Amino acid sequence: MHLKSHRRHIHNEDVIWFECQDCDYKSKTKNNLKQHRRNIHNADVIWHFCQDCSFKAKSKAHVKQHRQYVHNVDVVWFYCKDCEYRTKQKCHLKSHRGTQHKPPAADNSGLS
């Protein structure tokens, strides 16, 4: 079974192609074709809407992220311990700390 699967996916032997009815895209799996049609052609999309503005997205997670970043709903804030800086992303805090609160450079002159 593994050899047959290998030949089908790597060498395109005995492949059943799933073709998009709207463009030239084709896929070896039905699920990939569904994803393509949803992402590229908006086919069978269930839209999720922001309750605070006209934003819409194809997933609830994207609406949740939008509401956090645009409307500050359910935000987890990251605070700098050395100043009043705050951010919604941990990587931004790390960058802030590295640029704004650098530790003093070590004295590498060898003269103590």
- Say how far apart CA 30 and CA 22 lie, in whole Å: 15
Per DSSP, helices labelled H in 48-107 are 60-71, 90-100
What is the residue-level pLDDT of the chain in tens, covering all 112 positions?
677 777 666 777 778 899 999 999 999 889 999 999 989 999 988 999 999 999 999 899 999 999 999 999 999 999 999 999 999 999 999 999 999 998 776 666 665 5
Q: Which amino acid is at 36?
A: H
Residue 50 CB partners (closer than 8 Å, separation 6+): 56, 63, 66, 67, 70, 71
CA geometry: angle 49, 52, 55, nearest 5 deg: 40
Per-residue pLDDT at 13: 72
**Per-residue tokens: 6:** 């290998």
Inter-residue contact 56 to 47 (CB < 8 Å):
yes
- The residue ranges of every structural domain in the chain are 2-41
Inter-residue contact 50 to 66 (CB < 8 Å):
yes
Per-residue pLDDT at 28: 86
Per-residue pLDDT at 5: 72
Query: How does the average pLDDT of the chain come out, rounded?
Result: 88
